[in-house]
Amino acid sequence: MSTDIAENDNVDVDEERRDFIHIATGMTAAAGAGLLAWPFVDQMNPASDTKAASSLDVDVSKVVEGSEIRVLIGGKPFFIRHRTAAEIASAQSANLSGMRDPEEDADRLVPTPSGEVNPSILVISGACTHLGCVPVGPGGGNLGDFGGWYCPCHGSHYDTSGRIRKGPAPSNLPVPTYRYVSDTVVNISL
């Protein structure tokens, strides 16, 4: 029997069927909106070329003894320092008991392909663990009280192994993920 719309009030409406259609339509629309939103959110994440630029090969043989070079990887600073014999000795002989973040110097180095450890080359992050300032080193005329680095922002002193010895920084300058590609080239990655 055909129903007259004007007399709709008297017609039996299948409420459940109607609810189902409402909910199904709403859910589909919400899922569609969510799917469409995702590309707009995800485009903010690092692009492929940005991610690809997150590692760097550095020839450490070019670093003069007693000096350091500074490299930026993905905008983050890293120090590669060629330590003198005296600096190595002071890093190795330092007493760990008084340190805020005790760590052996040997644990902060990575072996070369031949399996030996080259203690003269130290690779560490260049962002102070306090608030991310960049400490000054051999090129900046201030090595701090422990011969390593000094952060001018709030006065953190790091030793020749990059360990925090004095000042507000909570931890050592971290050692980045890196490996020796050859005896003289390191690959540092974020």
Partner 1 sequence: MSGHQSTYDPQTGIEKWIDARLPLPRLVYDSFVDFPTPKNLNYWYTFGGILALCLMTQIITGIVLAMHYTASVDLAFASVERIMRDVPYGWLLRYIHAVGASFFFLAVYVHIFRGLYYGSYKAPREVLWILGCVIFLLMMATAFLGYMLPWGQMSLHGANVIIGLFGAIPLVGESLQTWLMGGPSIGNQTLQRFFSLHYLLPFVIAGVVILHIWALHVPGNNNPTGVEVQDVKKDTVPFHPYYTVKDAFAIVVFFIVFGAFVFYAPNVLGHADNYIEANPLVTPAHIVPEWYLLPFYAILRAITFDIGPIDAKLLGVVAMFASIGVLFVLPWLDTSKVKSMRYRPVAKQFFFGFVVACLLLGWCGATNPDNPIIKLGSDQLVVSHTDANGLPASATFSEYEEAKAHMEALPAESAPSMGIQVAPAFRFLHLGQILTLYYFAYFLVILPVLGLREQPKEEPESIHKAILGSHSQSDDVRLVPAAAE
Instruction: Tell me phi and psi for residue 146, to 5 degrees.
Output: -120, 15
Using CB under 8 A, pick the residue from 56, 74, 99, 120 that binds partner 1: 74
Q: Is 52 in the site for partner 1 (CB under 8 A)?
A: no
58 touches 69 (CB < 8 A)? yes
From residue 140, give the alpha-carbon distance in Å to each of 21, 76, 175: 71, 18, 21
Q: Is 50 in the site for partner 1 (CB under 8 A)?
A: yes
For residues 50 and 182, which CB has a smaller minimum distance to partner 1 in the complex?
50
CA distance 122 to 174: 11
- The single-letter code of the amino acid at 18 is R
Using CB under 8 A, pick the residue from 2, 45, 93, 97 that binds partner 1: 45
Q: CB of residue 67 vs partner 1: minimum separation in angstroms?
A: 15
Q: Is 44 in the site for partner 1 (CB under 8 A)?
A: yes
Residue for token pair 């003894």: 65
Count residues binding partner 1 (CB under 8 A): 21
Q: Is 72 in the site for partner 1 (CB under 8 A)?
A: yes
Cβ neighbours of 88 (radius 10 Å): 16
- Please, which of residues 169-188 interact with partner 1 by CB under 8 A? none
Q: CB of residue 81 vs partner 1: minimum separation in angstroms?
A: 15
